[in-house]
Structure 1
Amino acid sequence: MAEVQSPPAATAPAAVDLTGEPSTAAATTSTDLVPATTEQTIITTNADGKKIKKIIRRKRRPARPQVDPATFKTEAPPPTGTIFNIWYNKWSGGDREDKYLSKTAAPGRCVVARDSGYTKADKTPGSYFCLFFARGICPKGVDCEYLHRLPTVTDIYPSNIDCFGRDKFSDYRDDMGGVGSFQRQNRTLYVGRIHVTDDIEEIVARHFQEWGQVERTRVLTARGVAFVTYLNEANSQFAKEAMAHQGLDHSEILNVRWATVDPNPAAQKREARRIEEQAAEAIRKALPAAYVAEIEGRDPEQKKRRKLEGGFGLQGYEAPDDVWFAKEKAEWDDAKEVHLVGAPDEQRMIEGGEAGDADEYPAMLLPREEESQNGNGNGILSGSTLAALKGFKTTAAPKRAPPAAGPLVGYGSDDDSD
């Protein structure tokens, strides 16, 4: 699907009963579902060297409607074909017309400092961002079921969808527009139709840093295009929708697309280094801190302990890295297991399947027999059952004699007499 979100509908008026007063159901709005304040803890150091903990509480504001719901209307797409596709809400069968290539200015623009606020989606973890909020035309405000704010580094979504909840495709479109591809993490936008001036680099950086932290900006003044790279992929997705058909300081209509792979070898090395750093950070979170410190050489005491204990009691033997790390990993996994609190070792042996023959069961369960008879034990077997198991002995079952072999039948022979 190209887009998941449906066009925003106008907000229904509040219900009124026969007495002329708002009803109780209508009085409960979405503002009651979200926290009214946010807390921020700041730890500072005073002149005496003591740490002071400050808690700053800010009152959260509701998201404001960007357009008047009474005047908002969804325009039908122009008939550019012979068949109307209700799934994609466009015409097909005629000449292909790309709306991104048309020089039509966007109907609105998002102003984060003025329009952002809490909505119904703030109480639902993993909510998506409002596509119409990014375009500056959402009429719902606080009643919107999507987020009305900028993405942050904590907003992480699967690789097959974007921050607006739209499905990605296996490959990019021919014009590098649309949602994008899930086979490559693209954080760079191509910006065309820029009115070139002497301070064009400062203008591009000022307009695009409104949508998140920018890692790098490159402007080709001879061609009137720019490449903007964000630190977070969700911010690049948000900025692509927010700046589509928008203008800079000279009222030009921008052409915003996904950028192709940079052929510069330095850029490719930089991207490969960033992917390696992300993989290393994921490994650091999956392994113990002491384990990682030894690998990175930040804990010399760990190396000394390994030299002493790495021999495993053998004179002149030092375990290789894979053996030593397997031992450390096994000890770390054992420490994380949840054991039964207060359960004796005998019960763990039985539950773990480490017990021997059935003759050994009564001996293991004898310490719990008195507790079971007194009613204080927590074992599965009662005292009478344990007493009956005392004299239980296992005997091997006699082996059955193999069946006598009968006369062979001439199956499949060439003789028809059978």
Structure 2
Amino acid sequence: MAETPVEDSALQVAGVAAEGTEQQIQLEPVKKTKKIIRKKKRPARVQVDRGAISTEPPAQTGDLFNIWYSKWSGGDRDDRHGLNTPAKTRCDPVKDSGFTKADNVTGSYFCLYFAKGTCWRGADCEYLHRIPTLHDLFPVNVDCFGRDKHSDYRDDMSGIGSFSRQNRTIYVGRIHVDDSIEETVARHFCQWGVIARTRVLTGRGVAFVTYQNEANAQFAKEAMSNQALDHEEILNVRWATVDPNPLAQKREARQLEEQAAEAVRRALPAAFVAEIEGKDPEAKKRKKIEGSFGLDGYDVPDDVWHSRTRQLESAPQANQLEAPEQSHMIEPAYAEPVPEPEVQSGIFSSSTVAALRGLAGGNVITQSVAKPSGGPLVAYGSDDESD
């Protein structure tokens, strides 16, 4: 079928328009959009079935029940530390961690059953299901699970702990020693937090694990109690005693100071912290202008600036310069003298006494009264001289 001239012209116009559109598309810059995909935090997984948890009280292993420690005592000498029974469950922080109801509540504590791998509530739990971090800070008298601490440790260094000492080191006993024991201990305990250092005594089958945060040590103590490493041993996890090494004590004190400084940095505004640490360029410029002492181009050294600041701070209040008093523009009006009130002393008033003194200064002559003469007529007197 032959094409008509009208169709040819329409096709030409359409081709020109298409070419112009292609040129316009080529000239316009292509905007690149970056698609942000935010992965929502998954809910906490249910670790065990509720029906598998026994609601019956534990079997009596002693003669007396200690209400302070909630355990039987006096008859458990065969298995004093409970190390003959391995733990039936274990927490897997990679699979079990997730959000719960406690994530929406500020100051929530961690779930003790989650640490032991026996929490059946999952996302409905009212405690946190995750690993503690450096930002998780709790009062001194409680641990990360919300349990009250005691004034001192137990004799066997078990239990919740003491509030009189910040302990970040746990004792791990009954370890099966082999050639890779240090790597094995670090691999099993690093999943509960950042480890500061690890020390393994291969001759005794004992390890000391120190965490950067005390909450991680509390969590690891409960999570690894009665657990096993690569072999079928049953670990004895307790609190570590104070290291007698002076260098270790100094290192511990220095790390505690660094943690306190980090907590202060998080509490204060970022601009204020930058100004204190000397990282704010505007604060440096302002200090340079204020410390030039009125001299253009004079850069005051830091020692002169600090000495001048200490001198001003230690100067007494009397030596400080004060602005001169300015005279008032409007003078006060003349006030008439107010007569002083008369003060009476004795029988006569002050005005009467003043009048009598004025009379005494004139020509008035006063005579003393004649004394009566002694005799039979006592107190007798007369104005007549003939008597």
TM class, shorter-length: 0.5 to 0.7
1:43-122 aligned at under 5 Å gives the runs 55-85=36-66, 88-92=69-73, 94-95=74-75, 100-122=81-103
Following superposition, the deviation at residue 235 of structure 1 comes to 1.0
Name the residue aligned to 2:228: 247
CA distance in 1, matches of 2:64, 2:83: 21
Distance 1:223 1:297 in 2: 56
The aligned residue for residue 234 of structure 1 is 215
Q: Distance in 1 between matches of 2:157 and 2:344?
A: 80
SS for the counterpart of 2:196 is strand
Task: Note the C-alpha offset of 1:302.
Answer: 5.5
Cα distance change on mapping 1:251 and 1:81 into 2, 3 Å: closer
Q: Quick check: 1:217–1:228 contact (8 Å CA) kept in 2?
A: yes
> For the Cα contact (< 8 Å) 2:221–2:238, is it kept in 1?
yes
1:199-348 equivalences under 5 Å are: 199-281=180-262, 286=268, 288-289=272-273, 291-294=275-278, 301=285, 304-309=288-293, 320-322=308-310
Which whole-Å CA distance do the structure 1 matches of 2:167 and 2:264 have between them? 23
> CA, structure 1 residues 189+111, in 2 after alignment: closer, same or farther (shift >3 Å)?
same
Q: Extract unaligned runs of 5+ from structure 1.
A: 1-51, 312-316, 327-394, 406-418
- The Cα shift of 1:81 comes to 3.6
Q: Name the TM-score, length of structure 2 as normaliser.
A: 0.62
| Matched position secondary structure for 1:172 | coil
Whether the aligned pair in 2 keeps the contact of 1:212 and 1:235 (CA below 8 Å) is yes
1:141 counterpart (95, 118, 122)? 122
Q: In 1, distance between residues paired with 2:34 and 2:200?
A: 44
Q: Deviation of residue 320 (structure 1)?
A: 3.3
In structure 1, what is the Cα distance between the partners aligned to 2:215 and 2:113?
16
Q: In the alignment, is the contact (CA less than 8 A) between 2:168 and 2:213 conserved in 1? A: yes
Aligned-pair CA distance for 1:243: 0.1
- Which residue of the partner structure matches residue 351 of structure 1? none
In 2, Cα distance between the equivalents of 1:78 and 1:176? Answer: 24
CA distance in 1, matches of 2:80, 2:43: 33
State the Cα distance separating 1:60 from its structure 2 match: 2.6
Partner SS state of residue 215, structure 1? strand
CA contact (8 A) 1:294 1:303 kept: no
Q: Given the superposition, is the C-alpha separation of residues 95 and 216 from structure 1 closer, same or farther in structure 2, using an over 3 Å criterion?
A: same
CA contact (8 A) 2:45 2:123 kept: yes
Whether the 8 Å contact between 1:191 and 1:254 is mirrored in structure 2 is yes
Opposite residue 139 of structure 2, the aligned amino acid is P
Contact 2:173 2:207 in 1 (8 A): yes
- String of CA shifts for 1:203-242, please: whole Å, max 9, x gaps: 1111111111112111110110001111121111110000
SS at match of 1:157: coil
Distance 1:56 1:267, change over 3 A: farther
Q: Which amino acid aligns with 1:129?
A: F
Moved more, 54-63 or 213-222: 54-63
Return the alpha-carbon distance in structure 2 between the equivalents of residues 404 and 249 of structure 1: 110
Question: 2:177 corresponds to which residue?
Answer: 196
Please give the residue correspondences for 1:358-373 in structure 2 after superposition, counting only pairs within 5 Å.
Answer: none
CA RMSD, Structure 1 to Structure 2 (Å): 4.2
Per the TM alignment, residue 265 of structure 1 is displaced from its structure 2 partner at its CA by 2.6
Residue 356 of structure 1: aligned partner: none
For normalisation by structure 1, the TM-score amounts to 0.58
**1:250 corresponds to which letter in structure 2?**
H
1:271-328 CA distance string (max 9 Å, x none):
12223323444565658346414599997646533432499xxxxx9763346689xx
Q: Please say if residues 310 and 324 of structure 1, whose CA atoms lie closer than 8 Å, have aligned partners that are also in contact.
A: no
Residues 216, 228 of structure 1: 8 Å contact kept: yes
Matched residues in 1 for 2:63 and 2:344: separation? Answer: 84
- Structure with greater Cα Rg: 2
Greater shift, 180-189 or 217-226, is seen at: 180-189
Hey, what's the Cα distance between the residues in 1 that align with 2:198 and 2:211?
9
Residues 153 and 295 (structure 1), Cα distance of their counterparts in 2 relative to 1, 3 Å cut:
closer
DSSP-derived class of the 1:260 partner: coil
The answer to whether the Cα contact below 8 Å between 2:63 and 2:75 also exists between their aligned partners in 1 is no
**Displacement, 1:99?**
5.3
AA of the residue aligned to 2:109? Y
Deviations 1:319-357 (A, max 9, x none): 63346689xxxxxxxxxxxxxxxxxxxxxxxxxxxxxxx
SS, match of residue 238 in structure 1: helix
Is the 2:195–2:210 Cα contact (8 Å) retained in structure 1? yes
